[in-house]
Copies of this chain bind each other. A is one copy, B any other.
Amino acid sequence: MLTTALRATPSATSSKSFVRRLEACGGVAAAEIAILEAALHAPETYRAGELLHPPRPGAPPFFMVSGWACLARLLDDGRRQVLAFLLPGDGVGFDLLTQSRESTSVLALTPVKVQRVRQSLLGEITGCPGVNRALAVASDQQQTRLIDQVVRLGRQTAYERCAHLLLELHGRLAEIGETQGDAFRLPVKQEVLADALGLSLVHVNRTLQQLRRDQLVEVHGGAAILKDRQALAATCEYRSGST
């Protein structure tokens, strides 16, 4: 069955997902990778539902090792807006977007493993030209996705928003080898999707069903399959990497 097939997804290529991500963002010398790895603390783990940013305001940046998290803002009356999804390999706290802000929090959506940068060696990292450039590219992608998010919320229908987000997640997961063709694990509740898409839980549910009825996607049991990526992309004007 689909769910079982996708349950365990051992990282294929490199041992560390963030290494793969950085390499995808531009040539990083092997020597630099070594420096980087030496500058990291041992992995920390968080449970789903835990907040992992605000604890310490001046907390050092870290890399997502495994699991899903999100950047979110909470409103006083309980409303919540997910600003961005944080996937394995993503750096958090390196760029402006993910830097600690009082009104913004990082929330673990699944069990999450991260590796923080040693405060004392932060300079070492930003000193590496290759790593530095890779981080800048990653930051640029992050920024591009935030713009996409604005467009989705402001000017796209529920149907388009869902399609667009699913394509974005597929694209990002593909980069770190966490897809099987058109299928990927989607370990988030529909409630979280709703808070990312600016919709109600119920409406996300119905919209996903509509996409399924149209033979475009299949979302079930924590996994998604994009049955017709091209048609999906046409529906929502999706541009991979977003030009």
Contacts and interface: CB of A to CB of B under 8 A. Distances in A.
A101 B144 contact: yes
- Tell me how many chains of this kind the complex includes: 2
A197 B153 CA distance: 10
A173 to B, nearest CB: 22
Interface residues of A, number: 33
Nearest to A243: B102
Interface stretch (A37-45, A61-69, A76-84, A214-222): A76-84
Interface string A152-181: 011100000000000000000000000000
A151 B77 CA distance: 13
Contacts of A79: 155
Interface of A: 73, 75-76, 79-81, 83, 96-97, 101-104, 139-140, 143-144, 146-147, 149-151, 153-155, 195-198, 237, 239, 242-243
